[in-house]
Amino acid sequence: MKYSEVIKLLEDLVNTPTHVLVGYGKGDLLVLRSDEGGFSSLWVLDVKSLSKKKIAKRPVSLEAEMPVKTNRVVYAVDVARGREQHVVYVVDLDRVEEEVQVDMEPVRVMSLVDTGERAFFTGATSEDVAIYMVEDGKAEKLYKLPRGFAFVTSANEHMVTGYGVLAGNPFSMEVFVYNVQSSEFKVYTPKPGSVNKEPVITEKNKLVFASSAFTEERDILVELDLEEEEFRELRLPGNDYYEYLPVEHVHYNQYEGKWLIVGKRNGRTKIFMNGYEIAPISGVAHRAVYVNDKIYYSYSSLRKPSEVVELDVKHRTSRVILESRPPREVESVLGDVKFEKVRTPSNLDIPVWIIESSKAGRPGPTVIYVHGGPWAEVADAWRVTLIALVATGFNVVAPNFRGSTGYGEWFKKMNIGDPGGGDLEDVVAVTKWALETGLASKVLIAGYSYGGYMTLWAMSNEPELYDCGVAGASVVDWEEMYGLSDAVFKAFIDVLFAGKRELLRERSPINKAPNITRPLCIIHPQNDSRTPLKPALRLLSLLLERGKSFEAHIVPDLGHAINTVEDAMKILLPMVSFLRKCAEVERG
């Protein structure tokens, strides 16, 4: 491909819109999160006329899930050019042209919920993380959280609930309830040391949340009676849910006494109503809502950017009301999409997604793509970075190393207290598997955020294994990052390392940079407040002093989150260009 062809293909790809369901509002309006029009915004879609309209005039960082048929949408906007200092906005669906900015000092908004009358969020400053309430156009700080790693997930007129690392144990998460009237803050867990997350308030003012209290192999939905303080497993009438046994839950909520659940295992989802499977999905559903005897949901896959579907529950009919397809030249290149498990030297089976490119062939140049987080996963869901690599001539192998979500709390916990240890072993084992199975002629490695960290760490610890690497928004020095972080990211590092401060230096790539022997490309946002630029600049200086081969792309006025098409191009174009150049050079 000529350089101009690469640019055009990437432009067509990043301009392919995605649509994610947010909720169902007043006047038969679906609210969607979409990047149509050049940036991540909020749109309304009339389910009758199928006409749609943008309602947020600036990039949206985070939106609140909406109560059914509410007349407003609440969301957070970064006002600090990528530094993730947010203010909250409210749009009335009767007057979608008017955005109302909440009177507040900017904070890092980590989570956001809305009752239709009040909104609540967790906000982080350099000093603390607290619960805030938005009412009558103003934000009020309600309660300073005892520890910094916590999120709100549901609220009503009496209380707000959420979860976090609240007992001081990095291996557990607890549920909390804050009473708005009495200001009482209470923490709940069905079993000390278990992980409990994403509570929702039921129609009878009970809590339902996902828990590992009964088994760490999969999440179980647990109901908490707040008056009796009793826990029990949520029981559903249908048996399909129990035959499927989801490992995780993407979404669950109660509508008119019925439970609508999106369950996930092995990187794909199914939708259940009261335990009965109601929608076959080839990919991952993001969210679902039940209203007027219809279920609305959005989903995507590694082949399809997005689809929004209306399912008539009574008549068992469905229709696609909005869809997005990849550019034709991208569709023609996408080869086999496979899910495998690769055995490591520690006898762990690591889940891996493989996407083959008809341009790469077998064996062909292969990118080991390392996801961020680390508490995240690559699933059968649209990821523009992976598809860009496949479209420009690479096979892609994406390991869900230990620490990834989607495979049970036992698996996720395995890198707490050991980042850069067992997860590095997994990435290396999958890399060698790609070579041994004949998929890869040469291997390159790339990632963003924690994936950028793992790229640097792998190239430092296995310098002869990778032909080159691209590290985006990477952690370079855990110690320096800790000192530059606000309250929530200090708490994040404390949890990830399980308080083992001595490991911060040991597991920092800057201390092993002299080991890097192969070409390296560093792409870093200038205004990144999660993985700050300063340590990356020190790494570049060190590489220069040692005469290493590298490229550096510092992206001005960009933070860690990529919310516009232009920002996506600023990351993807140098990454793809560097990898293509590297792939054309044979090993010496």
User: Around Cβ 240, how many Cβ atoms within 10 Å?
Assistant: 16
User: How large is the average pLDDT for residues 274-281?
Assistant: 91
Note the pLDDT tens digit of each residue in 104-158.
999 999 999 999 999 999 999 999 999 999 999 999 999 999 877 899 999 999 9
Note the pLDDT tens digit of each residue in 302-348.
999 999 999 999 988 999 999 999 999 999 999 889 999 999 999 99
Note the pLDDT tens digit of each residue in 496-513.
999 999 999 999 999 999
Give me the CATH code for the 328-584 domain, please: 3.40.50.1820
Q: Where are the domains of the chain?
A: 19-144, 239-325, 328-584
Note the pLDDT tens digit of each residue in 424-449.
999 999 999 999 999 999 999 999 99
> Are 45 and 33 contacting, i.e. CB atoms less than 8 angstroms apart?
no
Q: Is the pLDDT of residue 356 over 90?
A: yes
Residue 333 gets the label, from left (phi > 0), alpha (psi -120 to 50) or beta, of alpha
pLDDT category at 99 given cuts 50, 70, 90 is confident
Scored b (16 or more CB within 10 A) or e, 198-237 reads bbbbbeeebbbbbbbbeeeebbbbbbbebeeeebeebebe
User: How large is the average pLDDT for residues 568-581?
Assistant: 96
User: How large is the average pLDDT for residues 565-572?
Assistant: 95
DSSP state of 90: E
> Are 73 and 22 contacting, i.e. CB atoms less than 8 angstroms apart?
yes
Note the pLDDT tens digit of each residue in 385-402.
999 999 999 999 999 999
pLDDT score of 585: 42
Note the pLDDT tens digit of each residue in 208-223.
999 999 999 999 999 9
pLDDT score of 587: 36
Residue keyed to tokens 């934000």? 139
pLDDT score of 415: 95
Instruction: Determine the Cα–Cα distance for residues 11 and 23; give it in Å rounded to an integer.
Output: 30
pLDDT score of 97: 81
Scored b (16 or more CB within 10 A) or e, 425-464 reads bbbbbbbbbbeeeebbbbbbbbbbbbbbbbbbbbbbbbee
Which residues are within 8 A (CB) of 279 and not within 5 positions of it... i.e. 6 or more apart?
270, 271, 285, 295, 297, 309, 311, 318
pLDDT category at 576 given cuts 50, 70, 90 is very high
Alpha helices in 322-407 (DSSP H): 328-331, 384-391
pLDDT score of 279: 80
CA nearest to 93, candidates 118, 74, 106? 74
DSSP state of 439: S
Mean pLDDT of the chain, nearest integer: 95
Give the burial class of 54: count Cβ atoms within 10 A of its Cβ; 0-12 exposed, 13-18 middle, 19 or more buried. middle
pLDDT score of 588: 33
| Residues labelled as active-site residues | 449, 528, 560
SS (H, E, C) 218-236: CCEEEEEECCCCEEEECCC
CA dihedral 97, 31, 77, 522 (to 10 degrees): -130
Note the pLDDT tens digit of each residue in 43-88.
999 999 999 999 999 999 999 989 999 999 999 999 999 999 999 9
Length in residues, the chain: 588
Cα Rg for the chain, rounded, in angstroms?
23
> Are 102 and 118 contacting, i.e. CB atoms less than 8 angstroms apart?
no
CA nearest to 102, candidates 82, 76, 84? 76
> Are 63 and 22 contacting, i.e. CB atoms less than 8 angstroms apart?
yes
CA nearest to 73, candidates 35, 29, 103? 29
User: How large is the average pLDDT for residues 502-525?
Assistant: 96
Assign domain 19-144 to its CATH architecture. Answer: 7 Propeller (2.130)
User: How large is the average pLDDT for residues 469-488?
Assistant: 97
